[in-house]
Amino acid sequence: MRSIYCLFIILLTLSACSGDSTEKNKPDDDPENLVPPSANLAIPDNRFTNNYQVVIFGNSHVAGLDSLIKTLISAGNPFAKINISNAGGGFLDDQFNRQRRVTLLENRPWTHVILQGQKYSQSGATIYPTIAARVWIDKAKNRGITPILFPEHPQKDNNEEGKRVHKIHTGIAAIQKSCVAPVGLTWDKVIITEPELALHSSDGNHASVIGKLLTAFVFYEVITGESADLLPFIDGIGVDQASQQILRQFASETIQAFQPCMFDT
């Protein structure tokens, strides 16, 4: 009984990531009822609106981001109307939640959609299909919604995962134009430069309060086009003033080096 319980805990801990297998490639077959995008529209630019309507699709890694992002946008623009909705739904190719997500995406006036949950191999040994992510991007752009891909942050003590996952998502954006938030790359910089900041929770996989705030600063700048480094100190979110300043600086520096959105001019 104890061994079964331990196995359950291990599987639960890894549920937000993709596992590995002995196969090197998984075929990029179209999931049922998913049609590959026939066009590659420009990314809609909704940065400078006064009415931010943001929906988040993803797994456990998006928990708590909605309230943090709303807090940051409110601090940067007190006069903006803001609605951030965490719609969850698991991986982007999850068929069980697909119709609910489609209905939500098509029946609300969203300005931005954050797409987290592209499956990937922790070791890099397996290549997973990206067709579902590309279809969500296409659906968003056809409705004038800015799509933002969310490459996950690296697991604790994994120095290669952040870069590898970011590369997977820029590969998706090279096929179907989309913003790519440099979350993992920003985490890499903070982990190397400020190792005393505990970005991970105790499981070494999910984000701590500080890690979630760092991710939220990245999304604040990608969504609004305003520098996270210019935000004021925000009391009441569980991170001290000095740490907030460091996180803001690294978020903005990484975005300057790795532009998330290539808008057509």
Instruction: Give the tens place of pLDDT for each residue, 225-249.
Output: 999 999 999 999 999 999 999 999 9
Q: What is the pLDDT of residue 27?
A: 43
Q: Which domain holds residue 201?
A: 50-257
Q: What is the pLDDT of residues 131-154, one digit of tens each?
A: 999 999 999 999 999 999 999 999
Establish if 96 belongs to a structural domain. yes
Q: Confirm whether 161 is domain-assigned.
A: yes
Q: Using the 8-state DSSP alphabet, how is residue 239 labeled?
A: -
Using a CB cutoff of 8 Å and minimum separation of 24, what contacts does 233-237 make?
Answer: 234/71, 234/72, 234/75, 237/68, 237/71, 237/209, 237/213
Residue 83: give its domain's CATH number. Answer: 3.40.50.1110
Per the domain annotation, does 233 fall within a domain?
A: yes
Q: Does the residue 18 lie in any domain?
A: no
The whole-number pLDDT of residue 122 equals 80
Q: Output the pTM of the full model.
A: 0.88
CA dist., res. 155 & res. 180, Å (int):
19
The three-point CA angle 184-115-260 to 5° equals 55
Instruction: Confirm whether 10 is domain-assigned.
Output: no
Q: What is the tally of structural domains in the chain?
A: 1
18: which residues sit within 8 A by CB, 6+ positions away? Answer: 119, 120, 121, 122, 126, 128
Q: Quote the CA–CA distance of 221 and 226 in Å, as a whole number.
A: 5
pLDDT by residue, tens only, the chain of 265 residues: 444 434 333 333 444 554 443 333 444 444 444 555 568 999 999 999 999 999 999 999 999 999 999 999 999 999 999 999 999 999 999 999 999 999 999 999 999 999 999 999 887 789 999 999 999 999 999 999 999 999 999 999 999 999 999 999 999 999 999 999 999 999 999 999 999 999 999 999 999 999 999 999 999 999 999 999 999 999 999 999 999 999 999 999 999 999 999 998 6
Distance CA 138, CA 39 (A): 8
Domain annotation covers residue 34: no
Q: 242 lies in a domain?
A: yes
Q: Are 158 and 61 in contact (CB under 8 A)?
A: no
Q: Any residues with CB less than 8 A from the CB of 125 and at least 6 apart, and which?
A: 20, 21, 22, 24
How much is the pLDDT for 2? 42
Tell me how far apart the alpha carbons of residues 131 and 148 are, in angstroms, rounded to a whole number.
16
In a domain, 11, yes or no: no
